[in-house]
Structure 1
Protein backbone atom coordinates (compact mmCIF):
# COMPACT_ATOMS: atom_id res chain seq x y z
CA UNK A 1 0.00 0.00 0.00
CA UNK A 2 2.94 2.30 0.62
CA UNK A 3 4.11 1.76 -2.96
CA UNK A 4 0.62 2.49 -4.28
CA UNK A 5 0.42 5.67 -2.18
CA UNK A 6 3.78 6.82 -3.53
CA UNK A 7 2.86 6.06 -7.17
CA UNK A 8 -0.51 7.75 -6.77
CA UNK A 9 1.04 10.90 -5.29
CA UNK A 10 3.67 10.95 -8.05
CA UNK A 11 1.03 10.62 -10.78
CA UNK A 12 -0.92 13.52 -9.22
CA UNK A 13 2.17 15.67 -8.59
CA UNK A 14 2.17 18.97 -10.45
CA UNK A 15 5.94 18.95 -10.87
CA UNK A 16 5.99 15.39 -12.20
CA UNK A 17 3.28 16.24 -14.74
CA UNK A 18 5.10 19.40 -15.80
CA UNK A 19 8.36 17.45 -16.16
CA UNK A 20 6.77 14.83 -18.44
CA UNK A 21 5.00 17.50 -20.50
CA UNK A 22 8.25 19.45 -20.84
CA UNK A 23 10.17 16.37 -21.94
CA UNK A 24 7.40 15.40 -24.33
CA UNK A 25 7.36 18.92 -25.77
CA UNK A 26 11.12 18.76 -26.32
CA UNK A 27 10.91 15.43 -28.16
CA UNK A 28 8.03 16.70 -30.29
CA UNK A 29 9.99 19.82 -31.24
CA UNK A 30 13.04 17.73 -32.19
CA UNK A 31 10.85 15.42 -34.27
CA UNK A 32 9.20 18.24 -36.21
CA UNK A 33 12.12 20.64 -36.55
CA UNK A 34 14.90 18.10 -37.12
CA UNK A 35 13.19 15.24 -38.97
CA UNK A 36 9.64 15.79 -40.24
CA UNK A 37 9.87 19.32 -41.66
CA UNK A 38 13.30 18.88 -43.34
CA UNK A 39 11.97 15.79 -45.15
CA UNK A 40 8.56 17.31 -45.93
CA UNK A 41 6.77 14.63 -43.91
CA UNK A 42 3.22 14.91 -42.65
CA UNK A 43 2.19 14.06 -39.11
CA UNK A 44 -1.23 13.24 -37.74
CA UNK A 45 -3.66 15.61 -36.05
CA UNK A 46 -3.22 19.35 -35.76
CA UNK A 47 0.55 18.97 -36.11
CA UNK A 48 -0.08 17.56 -39.58
CA UNK A 49 -2.31 20.53 -40.40
CA UNK A 50 0.46 22.87 -39.22
CA UNK A 51 3.08 21.12 -41.35
CA UNK A 52 0.84 21.21 -44.42
CA UNK A 53 0.06 24.90 -43.85
CA UNK A 54 3.78 25.64 -43.60
CA UNK A 55 4.50 23.74 -46.83
CA UNK A 56 1.74 25.57 -48.69
CA UNK A 57 2.40 29.08 -47.42
CA UNK A 58 6.15 28.97 -46.82
CA UNK A 59 5.67 31.31 -43.86
CA UNK A 60 6.40 31.01 -40.15
CA UNK A 61 7.39 27.57 -38.84
CA UNK A 62 5.28 24.42 -38.37
CA UNK A 63 5.35 24.78 -34.58
CA UNK A 64 4.20 28.41 -34.70
CA UNK A 65 1.33 27.38 -36.96
CA UNK A 66 0.60 24.55 -34.54
CA UNK A 67 0.32 26.93 -31.58
CA UNK A 68 -1.88 29.35 -33.56
CA UNK A 69 -4.28 26.61 -34.64
CA UNK A 70 -4.45 25.18 -31.11
CA UNK A 71 -5.54 28.47 -29.50
CA UNK A 72 -9.16 28.44 -30.78
CA UNK A 73 -9.38 24.71 -30.05
CA UNK A 74 -8.40 25.31 -26.42
CA UNK A 75 -10.85 28.20 -26.13
CA UNK A 76 -13.55 25.84 -27.39
CA UNK A 77 -12.40 23.09 -25.03
CA UNK A 78 -12.49 25.43 -22.01
CA UNK A 79 -16.29 25.06 -21.89
CA UNK A 80 -16.41 21.29 -22.38
CA UNK A 81 -13.41 19.54 -20.80
CA UNK A 82 -11.80 19.63 -17.37
CA UNK A 83 -9.85 22.81 -16.67
CA UNK A 84 -6.90 20.90 -15.22
CA UNK A 85 -6.69 18.69 -18.30
CA UNK A 86 -6.84 21.71 -20.61
CA UNK A 87 -4.25 23.75 -18.69
CA UNK A 88 -1.77 20.88 -18.64
CA UNK A 89 -2.38 20.32 -22.34
CA UNK A 90 -1.86 24.01 -23.12
CA UNK A 91 1.40 23.93 -21.15
CA UNK A 92 2.59 20.99 -23.28
CA UNK A 93 1.76 22.92 -26.46
CA UNK A 94 3.61 25.98 -25.13
CA UNK A 95 6.70 23.88 -24.38
CA UNK A 96 6.65 22.37 -27.87
CA UNK A 97 6.42 25.82 -29.47
CA UNK A 98 9.11 27.43 -27.30
CA UNK A 99 11.57 24.57 -27.85
CA UNK A 100 10.97 24.96 -31.57
CA UNK A 101 12.57 28.43 -31.51
CA UNK A 102 15.83 26.98 -30.18
CA UNK A 103 16.07 23.78 -32.20
CA UNK A 104 17.58 24.71 -35.54
CA UNK A 105 19.56 21.59 -36.39
CA UNK A 106 18.67 18.74 -38.72
CA UNK A 107 19.35 15.12 -37.91
CA UNK A 108 21.61 14.00 -40.80
CA UNK A 109 19.47 11.29 -42.37
CA UNK A 110 19.45 10.96 -46.15
CA UNK A 111 17.12 7.98 -46.40
CA UNK A 112 13.42 8.78 -46.11
CA UNK A 113 12.83 5.37 -44.54
CA UNK A 114 15.40 5.96 -41.80
CA UNK A 115 13.99 9.43 -41.22
CA UNK A 116 10.48 7.95 -40.91
CA UNK A 117 11.70 5.46 -38.29
CA UNK A 118 13.51 8.10 -36.22
CA UNK A 119 10.65 10.57 -36.55
CA UNK A 120 8.09 7.93 -35.57
CA UNK A 121 10.01 6.92 -32.45
CA UNK A 122 10.46 10.54 -31.35
CA UNK A 123 6.84 11.47 -32.08
CA UNK A 124 5.41 8.39 -30.39
CA UNK A 125 7.63 8.68 -27.32
CA UNK A 126 6.65 12.33 -26.95
CA UNK A 127 2.95 11.55 -27.24
CA UNK A 128 3.21 8.68 -24.77
CA UNK A 129 4.99 10.82 -22.18
CA UNK A 130 2.38 13.56 -22.49
CA UNK A 131 -0.53 11.14 -22.22
CA UNK A 132 0.98 9.71 -19.03
CA UNK A 133 0.24 13.07 -17.40
CA UNK A 134 -3.07 14.60 -16.38
CA UNK A 135 -3.03 16.41 -19.72
CA UNK A 136 -2.21 15.40 -23.30
CA UNK A 137 -0.20 16.37 -26.34
CA UNK A 138 -2.90 18.81 -27.42
CA UNK A 139 -4.43 19.46 -30.81
CA UNK A 140 -7.06 16.93 -31.81
CA UNK A 141 -6.89 15.28 -28.37
CA UNK A 142 -9.11 18.06 -27.00
CA UNK A 143 -11.64 17.73 -29.83
CA UNK A 144 -11.65 13.95 -29.48
CA UNK A 145 -12.29 14.17 -25.72
CA UNK A 146 -15.22 16.55 -26.27
CA UNK A 147 -16.76 14.29 -28.92
CA UNK A 148 -16.30 11.27 -26.68
CA UNK A 149 -17.79 12.90 -23.57
CA UNK A 150 -20.75 14.63 -25.21
CA UNK A 151 -21.71 12.36 -28.11
CA UNK A 152 -19.89 9.09 -27.29
CA UNK A 153 -17.97 9.29 -30.56
CA UNK A 154 -15.00 6.94 -30.47
CA UNK A 155 -11.63 8.71 -30.07
CA UNK A 156 -9.99 6.13 -32.32
CA UNK A 157 -12.60 6.56 -35.06
CA UNK A 158 -12.24 10.34 -34.94
CA UNK A 159 -8.45 10.15 -35.27
CA UNK A 160 -8.65 7.70 -38.17
CA UNK A 161 -11.17 9.86 -40.07
CA UNK A 162 -9.31 13.11 -39.38
CA UNK A 163 -5.90 11.75 -40.33
CA UNK A 164 -7.30 9.97 -43.39
CA UNK A 165 -8.74 13.23 -44.72
CA UNK A 166 -5.50 15.05 -43.84
CA UNK A 167 -3.34 12.62 -45.78
CA UNK A 168 -5.70 12.73 -48.75
CA UNK A 169 -5.39 16.52 -48.73
CA UNK A 170 -1.62 16.23 -48.40
CA UNK A 171 -1.51 14.03 -51.51
CA UNK A 172 -2.35 17.12 -53.59
CA UNK A 173 0.79 18.88 -52.32
CA UNK A 174 3.31 16.15 -51.63
CA UNK A 175 4.77 13.36 -53.77
CA UNK A 176 3.25 9.96 -53.12
CA UNK A 177 6.59 8.64 -51.82
CA UNK A 178 6.50 11.24 -49.03
CA UNK A 179 2.91 10.34 -48.18
CA UNK A 180 3.93 6.68 -47.81
CA UNK A 181 6.98 7.65 -45.72
CA UNK A 182 4.72 9.81 -43.53
CA UNK A 183 2.33 6.92 -43.05
CA UNK A 184 5.26 4.72 -41.99
CA UNK A 185 6.33 7.40 -39.52
CA UNK A 186 2.84 7.60 -38.02
CA UNK A 187 2.52 3.80 -37.83
CA UNK A 188 5.79 3.61 -35.88
CA UNK A 189 4.65 6.59 -33.80
CA UNK A 190 1.42 4.86 -32.74
CA UNK A 191 3.31 1.74 -31.64
CA UNK A 192 5.94 3.77 -29.78
CA UNK A 193 3.16 5.75 -28.08
CA UNK A 194 1.43 2.58 -26.89
CA UNK A 195 4.72 1.18 -25.59
CA UNK A 196 5.59 4.33 -23.64
CA UNK A 197 2.03 4.79 -22.39
CA UNK A 198 1.86 1.28 -20.98
CA UNK A 199 5.52 0.91 -20.03
CA UNK A 200 4.93 1.28 -16.29
CA UNK A 201 1.37 -0.07 -16.23
CA UNK A 202 1.72 -3.42 -17.94
CA UNK A 203 0.61 -6.19 -15.64
CA UNK A 204 -0.40 -9.83 -15.81
CA UNK A 205 -4.08 -10.64 -15.47
CA UNK A 206 -4.40 -14.05 -13.79
CA UNK A 207 -7.46 -16.33 -13.64
CA UNK A 208 -7.28 -19.22 -11.19
CA UNK A 209 -9.96 -21.91 -11.42
CA UNK A 210 -9.89 -24.21 -8.42
CA UNK A 211 -11.97 -26.12 -5.89
CA UNK A 212 -9.91 -24.41 -3.17
CA UNK A 213 -10.52 -20.81 -4.15
CA UNK A 214 -11.09 -19.52 -0.62
CA UNK A 215 -7.85 -21.05 0.64
CA UNK A 216 -5.87 -19.71 -2.33
CA UNK A 217 -7.32 -16.21 -1.96
CA UNK A 218 -6.41 -16.11 1.73
CA UNK A 219 -2.86 -17.23 0.92
CA UNK A 220 -2.56 -14.55 -1.78
CA UNK A 221 -3.71 -11.81 0.57
CA UNK A 222 -1.30 -12.93 3.30
CA UNK A 223 1.85 -13.67 1.28
CA UNK A 224 1.55 -11.49 -1.84
CA UNK A 225 -0.80 -8.74 -0.67
CA UNK A 226 -2.43 -8.57 -4.08
CA UNK A 227 -6.07 -7.72 -4.40
CA UNK A 228 -8.16 -10.68 -5.52
CA UNK A 229 -11.74 -11.04 -6.70
CA UNK A 230 -13.73 -14.23 -6.24
CA UNK A 231 -16.06 -15.22 -9.08
CA UNK A 232 -18.53 -18.08 -9.07
CA UNK A 233 -18.60 -20.46 -12.01
CA UNK A 234 -19.91 -23.83 -13.07
CA UNK A 235 -18.14 -26.58 -14.97
CA UNK A 236 -19.80 -27.13 -18.36
CA UNK A 237 -19.00 -30.86 -18.38
CA UNK A 238 -19.16 -31.81 -14.71
CA UNK A 239 -21.88 -29.37 -13.73
CA UNK A 240 -20.09 -28.79 -10.42
CA UNK A 241 -19.60 -25.36 -8.91
CA UNK A 242 -16.20 -23.73 -9.41
CA UNK A 243 -14.44 -20.83 -7.73
CA UNK A 244 -12.62 -18.49 -10.09
CA UNK A 245 -10.07 -16.07 -8.69
CA UNK A 246 -9.12 -12.96 -10.62
CA UNK A 247 -6.00 -11.03 -9.66
CA UNK A 248 -3.44 -8.72 -11.24
CA UNK A 249 0.28 -9.10 -10.70
CA UNK A 250 3.60 -8.29 -12.38
CA UNK A 251 6.29 -10.33 -14.12
CA UNK A 252 8.43 -10.53 -11.00
CA UNK A 253 5.75 -12.03 -8.77
CA UNK A 254 4.05 -14.17 -11.43
CA UNK A 255 6.13 -17.33 -10.92
CA UNK A 256 5.89 -17.00 -7.16
CA UNK A 257 2.10 -16.74 -7.46
CA UNK A 258 1.99 -19.82 -9.69
CA UNK A 259 4.01 -21.86 -7.19
CA UNK A 260 1.71 -20.71 -4.40
CA UNK A 261 -1.42 -21.78 -6.26
CA UNK A 262 -0.13 -25.25 -7.17
CA UNK A 263 1.19 -25.83 -3.66
CA UNK A 264 -2.44 -25.60 -2.49
CA UNK A 265 -4.21 -27.22 -5.42
CA UNK A 266 -2.23 -29.31 -7.89
CA UNK A 267 -5.29 -29.56 -10.15
CA UNK A 268 -5.92 -25.82 -10.38
CA UNK A 269 -6.15 -24.12 -13.77
CA UNK A 270 -3.78 -21.14 -13.94
CA UNK A 271 -4.48 -18.72 -16.83
CA UNK A 272 -2.33 -15.67 -17.55
CA UNK A 273 -3.08 -12.80 -19.93
CA UNK A 274 -1.05 -9.71 -20.75
CA UNK A 275 -2.78 -6.44 -19.93
CA UNK A 276 -1.93 -3.20 -21.68
CA UNK A 277 -2.98 -0.84 -18.92
CA UNK A 278 -4.12 -1.16 -15.30
CA UNK A 279 -5.47 1.80 -13.34
CA UNK A 280 -7.24 2.18 -10.01
CA UNK A 281 -7.38 -0.05 -6.96
CA UNK A 282 -3.87 -0.51 -5.62
CA UNK A 283 -2.45 0.84 -8.88
CA UNK A 284 -1.89 4.48 -9.76
CA UNK A 285 -4.88 6.11 -11.44
CA UNK A 286 -4.70 8.66 -14.22
CA UNK A 287 -7.31 11.39 -13.86
CA UNK A 288 -8.36 14.24 -16.10
Structure 2
Protein backbone atom coordinates (compact mmCIF):
# COMPACT_ATOMS: atom_id res chain seq x y z
CA UNK A 1 0.00 0.00 0.00
CA UNK A 2 2.81 2.40 0.85
CA UNK A 3 4.28 1.88 -2.61
CA UNK A 4 1.09 3.29 -4.14
CA UNK A 5 1.15 6.54 -2.12
CA UNK A 6 3.79 8.26 -4.33
CA UNK A 7 1.73 7.42 -7.43
CA UNK A 8 -1.35 8.92 -5.79
CA UNK A 9 0.58 12.09 -4.95
CA UNK A 10 1.84 12.29 -8.54
CA UNK A 11 -1.77 12.16 -9.76
CA UNK A 12 -2.79 14.89 -7.28
CA UNK A 13 0.20 17.02 -8.30
CA UNK A 14 -0.67 16.53 -11.97
CA UNK A 15 -4.22 17.75 -11.31
CA UNK A 16 -2.97 20.86 -9.49
CA UNK A 17 -0.49 21.58 -12.29
CA UNK A 18 -3.16 21.16 -14.97
CA UNK A 19 -5.53 23.50 -13.14
CA UNK A 20 -2.85 26.19 -12.97
CA UNK A 21 -1.97 25.63 -16.61
CA UNK A 22 -5.56 25.96 -17.87
CA UNK A 23 -6.93 28.44 -15.35
CA UNK A 24 -4.22 31.09 -15.70
CA UNK A 25 -1.46 30.24 -18.20
CA UNK A 26 -3.50 29.03 -21.17
CA UNK A 27 -6.55 31.20 -20.43
CA UNK A 28 -4.43 34.36 -20.62
CA UNK A 29 -2.36 33.37 -23.68
CA UNK A 30 0.85 32.76 -21.73
CA UNK A 31 3.37 29.97 -22.31
CA UNK A 32 5.62 27.53 -20.47
CA UNK A 33 8.99 25.95 -21.17
CA UNK A 34 9.71 22.51 -22.62
CA UNK A 35 7.13 20.34 -24.37
CA UNK A 36 4.24 22.09 -22.59
CA UNK A 37 5.31 25.42 -24.10
CA UNK A 38 5.37 23.94 -27.60
CA UNK A 39 1.95 22.33 -27.01
CA UNK A 40 0.53 25.68 -25.87
CA UNK A 41 1.81 27.41 -29.03
CA UNK A 42 0.12 24.70 -31.15
CA UNK A 43 -3.07 25.21 -29.17
CA UNK A 44 -3.05 28.97 -29.74
CA UNK A 45 -2.28 28.75 -33.45
CA UNK A 46 -3.80 25.43 -34.61
CA UNK A 47 -6.34 24.77 -31.80
CA UNK A 48 -4.82 21.34 -31.06
CA UNK A 49 -5.64 20.29 -27.50
CA UNK A 50 -2.64 20.90 -25.25
CA UNK A 51 -2.95 17.56 -23.47
CA UNK A 52 -3.17 15.63 -26.74
CA UNK A 53 -0.09 17.15 -28.39
CA UNK A 54 1.82 16.94 -25.10
CA UNK A 55 1.13 13.20 -24.84
CA UNK A 56 2.10 12.59 -28.48
CA UNK A 57 5.41 14.46 -28.00
CA UNK A 58 6.18 12.30 -24.97
CA UNK A 59 5.61 8.90 -26.61
CA UNK A 60 9.09 8.64 -28.21
CA UNK A 61 10.69 10.20 -25.11
CA UNK A 62 9.04 7.65 -22.81
CA UNK A 63 10.28 4.88 -25.09
CA UNK A 64 13.84 6.25 -24.92
CA UNK A 65 13.59 6.49 -21.13
CA UNK A 66 12.44 2.89 -20.92
CA UNK A 67 15.25 1.68 -23.20
CA UNK A 68 17.99 3.64 -21.43
CA UNK A 69 16.89 3.51 -17.78
CA UNK A 70 14.47 0.59 -17.47
CA UNK A 71 10.87 -0.01 -16.48
CA UNK A 72 11.19 1.03 -12.83
CA UNK A 73 12.49 4.50 -13.68
CA UNK A 74 9.86 5.18 -16.30
CA UNK A 75 6.85 3.97 -14.26
CA UNK A 76 6.33 7.16 -12.24
CA UNK A 77 7.17 9.34 -15.23
CA UNK A 78 4.55 7.49 -17.30
CA UNK A 79 1.93 8.12 -14.60
CA UNK A 80 2.88 11.81 -14.52
CA UNK A 81 2.71 12.21 -18.30
CA UNK A 82 -0.63 10.41 -18.64
CA UNK A 83 -2.17 12.26 -15.68
CA UNK A 84 -1.04 15.69 -16.91
CA UNK A 85 -2.26 14.92 -20.43
CA UNK A 86 -5.72 13.80 -19.24
CA UNK A 87 -6.20 16.51 -16.61
CA UNK A 88 -5.11 19.19 -19.08
CA UNK A 89 -7.97 18.11 -21.34
CA UNK A 90 -10.55 17.75 -18.56
CA UNK A 91 -9.80 21.07 -16.82
CA UNK A 92 -10.15 23.33 -19.85
CA UNK A 93 -13.32 24.76 -18.30
CA UNK A 94 -11.34 26.10 -15.31
CA UNK A 95 -10.17 29.09 -17.37
CA UNK A 96 -9.92 32.39 -15.46
CA UNK A 97 -9.50 35.41 -17.72
CA UNK A 98 -7.50 37.84 -15.60
CA UNK A 99 -7.30 41.41 -16.90
CA UNK A 100 -3.66 41.77 -15.83
CA UNK A 101 -1.27 39.28 -17.47
CA UNK A 102 1.26 39.83 -14.70
CA UNK A 103 -1.26 38.62 -12.12
CA UNK A 104 -2.08 35.65 -14.36
CA UNK A 105 1.64 34.81 -14.57
CA UNK A 106 1.99 35.01 -10.78
CA UNK A 107 -1.11 32.92 -10.04
CA UNK A 108 -0.24 30.39 -12.74
CA UNK A 109 3.37 30.16 -11.59
CA UNK A 110 2.36 29.49 -7.97
CA UNK A 111 -0.24 26.82 -8.79
CA UNK A 112 1.84 25.09 -11.48
CA UNK A 113 4.90 25.17 -9.22
CA UNK A 114 2.94 23.60 -6.35
CA UNK A 115 1.77 20.78 -8.62
CA UNK A 116 5.19 20.14 -10.14
CA UNK A 117 6.84 20.30 -6.72
CA UNK A 118 4.49 17.59 -5.44
CA UNK A 119 5.25 15.44 -8.49
CA UNK A 120 9.02 15.84 -8.11
CA UNK A 121 8.91 15.29 -4.35
CA UNK A 122 7.10 12.00 -4.97
CA UNK A 123 9.89 10.83 -7.28
CA UNK A 124 8.08 11.44 -10.54
CA UNK A 125 8.58 13.75 -13.50
CA UNK A 126 6.42 15.07 -16.30
CA UNK A 127 8.64 13.54 -18.98
CA UNK A 128 9.61 15.69 -21.93
CA UNK A 129 12.99 17.39 -21.95
CA UNK A 130 13.73 16.07 -18.45
CA UNK A 131 14.28 12.54 -19.80
CA UNK A 132 16.34 13.77 -22.75
CA UNK A 133 18.51 15.78 -20.35
CA UNK A 134 19.02 12.71 -18.14
CA UNK A 135 20.11 10.67 -21.15
CA UNK A 136 22.53 13.40 -22.27
CA UNK A 137 23.99 13.66 -18.78
CA UNK A 138 24.33 9.90 -18.35
CA UNK A 139 25.96 9.13 -21.69
CA UNK A 140 27.64 12.37 -22.74
CA UNK A 141 28.39 14.09 -19.41
CA UNK A 142 26.39 17.23 -20.22
CA UNK A 143 25.04 19.36 -17.37
CA UNK A 144 21.36 18.51 -16.85
CA UNK A 145 20.57 21.93 -15.40
CA UNK A 146 22.09 23.73 -18.38
CA UNK A 147 20.26 21.53 -20.84
CA UNK A 148 16.91 22.14 -19.14
CA UNK A 149 17.59 25.88 -18.99
CA UNK A 150 18.66 25.92 -22.63
CA UNK A 151 15.49 24.12 -23.70
CA UNK A 152 13.34 26.67 -21.85
CA UNK A 153 15.26 29.52 -23.48
CA UNK A 154 14.70 28.02 -26.94
CA UNK A 155 10.96 27.53 -26.30
CA UNK A 156 10.53 31.06 -24.90
CA UNK A 157 12.42 32.42 -27.93
CA UNK A 158 9.95 30.59 -30.19
CA UNK A 159 7.10 32.05 -28.13
CA UNK A 160 8.57 35.54 -28.59
CA UNK A 161 8.76 35.08 -32.36
CA UNK A 162 5.27 33.62 -32.75
CA UNK A 163 3.22 35.19 -29.94
CA UNK A 164 5.18 38.36 -29.23
CA UNK A 165 7.82 39.67 -26.84
CA UNK A 166 5.31 40.78 -24.20
CA UNK A 167 3.83 37.30 -23.80
CA UNK A 168 7.32 35.80 -23.71
CA UNK A 169 8.31 38.17 -20.89
CA UNK A 170 5.24 37.35 -18.80
CA UNK A 171 5.85 33.65 -19.47
CA UNK A 172 9.37 34.05 -18.06
CA UNK A 173 7.84 35.54 -14.91
CA UNK A 174 5.56 32.51 -14.58
CA UNK A 175 8.53 30.16 -15.08
CA UNK A 176 10.58 31.94 -12.43
CA UNK A 177 7.76 31.91 -9.87
CA UNK A 178 7.05 28.26 -10.63
CA UNK A 179 10.70 27.30 -10.09
CA UNK A 180 10.77 29.03 -6.70
CA UNK A 181 7.57 27.34 -5.56
CA UNK A 182 8.96 23.97 -6.70
CA UNK A 183 11.99 24.56 -4.47
CA UNK A 184 9.76 25.43 -1.51
CA UNK A 185 7.65 22.30 -1.95
CA UNK A 186 10.67 20.01 -2.34
CA UNK A 187 12.95 21.57 0.27
CA UNK A 188 10.39 22.97 2.70
CA UNK A 189 9.34 26.55 3.44
CA UNK A 190 10.59 26.58 7.03
CA UNK A 191 14.32 26.40 6.43
CA UNK A 192 16.72 25.98 9.32
CA UNK A 193 20.22 27.34 9.85
CA UNK A 194 23.45 25.47 10.43
CA UNK A 195 26.35 27.11 12.24
CA UNK A 196 30.02 26.17 12.27
CA UNK A 197 32.01 27.67 15.13
CA UNK A 198 35.80 27.76 15.36
CA UNK A 199 36.99 28.79 18.81
CA UNK A 200 39.42 27.88 21.56
CA UNK A 201 36.39 27.60 23.86
CA UNK A 202 34.19 25.25 21.86
CA UNK A 203 33.48 23.03 24.88
CA UNK A 204 32.13 26.00 26.88
CA UNK A 205 30.13 27.22 23.85
CA UNK A 206 28.60 23.78 23.38
CA UNK A 207 27.56 23.63 27.05
CA UNK A 208 25.87 27.03 26.77
CA UNK A 209 24.03 26.00 23.60
CA UNK A 210 22.80 22.87 25.38
CA UNK A 211 21.57 24.89 28.36
CA UNK A 212 20.18 28.02 26.68
CA UNK A 213 18.81 26.62 23.41
CA UNK A 214 18.30 22.94 24.17
CA UNK A 215 19.97 22.02 20.87
CA UNK A 216 22.54 19.32 20.28
CA UNK A 217 26.03 19.95 18.97
CA UNK A 218 28.68 17.97 17.13
CA UNK A 219 32.45 18.33 17.17
CA UNK A 220 34.21 17.90 13.84
CA UNK A 221 37.94 17.47 13.47
CA UNK A 222 39.64 20.27 11.57
CA UNK A 223 43.11 21.58 10.83
CA UNK A 224 44.12 25.21 10.48
CA UNK A 225 45.31 25.99 6.97
CA UNK A 226 47.77 28.62 8.18
CA UNK A 227 48.94 27.19 11.51
CA UNK A 228 48.65 23.52 10.58
CA UNK A 229 47.39 22.77 14.11
CA UNK A 230 44.46 20.42 14.82
CA UNK A 231 41.34 21.92 16.36
CA UNK A 232 37.66 21.15 16.93
CA UNK A 233 34.95 22.70 14.79
CA UNK A 234 31.57 23.01 16.51
CA UNK A 235 28.55 22.21 14.31
CA UNK A 236 24.98 23.01 15.32
CA UNK A 237 21.60 23.26 13.54
CA UNK A 238 18.91 25.59 14.87
CA UNK A 239 15.58 26.97 13.66
CA UNK A 240 15.37 30.36 11.98
CA UNK A 241 14.15 32.18 15.11
CA UNK A 242 16.98 30.72 17.22
CA UNK A 243 19.89 31.96 15.14
CA UNK A 244 20.23 35.25 17.05
CA UNK A 245 20.20 33.39 20.39
CA UNK A 246 22.90 31.08 19.04
CA UNK A 247 25.09 34.01 18.04
CA UNK A 248 24.65 35.58 21.48
CA UNK A 249 25.52 32.28 23.18
CA UNK A 250 28.76 32.09 21.19
CA UNK A 251 29.63 35.74 21.90
CA UNK A 252 29.11 35.29 25.67
CA UNK A 253 31.81 32.61 25.76
CA UNK A 254 34.19 33.91 23.10
CA UNK A 255 33.77 37.27 21.35
CA UNK A 256 36.60 36.37 18.96
CA UNK A 257 35.04 33.11 17.78
CA UNK A 258 34.78 32.57 14.02
CA UNK A 259 31.17 31.72 13.10
CA UNK A 260 29.75 30.71 9.72
CA UNK A 261 25.95 30.44 9.32
CA UNK A 262 24.11 29.11 6.28
CA UNK A 263 20.60 27.95 5.40
CA UNK A 264 19.80 24.24 5.31
CA UNK A 265 16.63 22.48 4.16
CA UNK A 266 14.80 19.26 5.03
CA UNK A 267 16.40 18.83 8.45
CA UNK A 268 15.30 15.47 9.85
CA UNK A 269 15.76 14.25 13.43
CA UNK A 270 14.98 15.12 17.01
CA UNK A 271 13.65 18.66 17.34
CA UNK A 272 13.01 18.95 13.59
CA UNK A 273 10.86 17.24 10.93
CA UNK A 274 10.42 13.49 11.00
Structure 1 unaligned spans of 5+? 1-11
TM-score calculated relative to the size of structure 2: 0.81
2:67 paired with 1:86: no
2:113 paired with 1:124: yes
Q: What is the CA–CA distance in structure 2 between the aligned matches of 1:225 and 1:271, rounded to whole Å?
A: 17
Contact 1:212–1:243 (CA<8 Å) still a contact in 2? no
Q: Deviations over 1:42-77 (max 9, x none)?
A: 101111121122233222x11221122112111100
Residues 101-112 of structure 1 aligned to structure 2 (within 5 Å): 101-103=89-91, 104-112=93-101
Q: What is the CA–CA distance in structure 1 between the aligned matches of 2:268 and 2:135, rounded to whole Å?
A: 23
2:209 paired with 1:231: no
Contact 2:160–2:166 (CA<8 Å) still a contact in 1? no
2:52 paired with 1:64: yes
Contact 1:85–1:134 (CA<8 Å) still a contact in 2? no
Q: What is the CA–CA distance in structure 2 between the aligned matches of 1:14 and 1:261, rounded to whole Å?
A: 46
Could you say what secondary structure the match of 1:137 adopts? coil
Structure 2 unaligned spans of 5+? none
Cα RMSD after superposing both structures: 3.4
Pick closer, same or farther for the CA change 1:262–1:122 going to 2, 3 Å.
same
Q: What is the CA–CA distance in structure 2 between the aligned matches of 1:82 and 1:268, rounded to whole Å?
A: 52
Q: What is the CA–CA distance in structure 2 between the aligned matches of 1:248 and 1:52, rounded to whole Å?
A: 47
Q: Which shifted more, 92-101 or 213-222?
A: 213-222
CA shift for structure 1 position 149: 2.3
Pick closer, same or farther for the CA change 1:147–1:279 going to 2, 3 Å.
farther
Number of aligned residues = 270
CA shift for structure 1 position 229: 5.5
Q: Which shifted more, 262-271 or 68-77?
A: 262-271
Q: What is the CA–CA distance in structure 1 between the aligned matches of 2:126 and 2:103, rounded to whole Å?
A: 24
Pick closer, same or farther for the CA change 1:200–1:168 going to 2, 3 Å.
closer
Pick closer, same or farther for the CA change 1:105–1:280 going to 2, 3 Å.
closer
2:38 paired with 1:38: no
CA shift for structure 1 position 25: 0.5
CA shift for structure 1 position 20: 2.8
Contact 1:202–1:278 (CA<8 Å) still a contact in 2? yes
Contact 1:121–1:188 (CA<8 Å) still a contact in 2? yes
Contact 1:124–1:188 (CA<8 Å) still a contact in 2? yes
Q: What is the CA–CA distance in structure 2 between the aligned matches of 1:14 and 1:139, rounded to whole Å?
A: 24
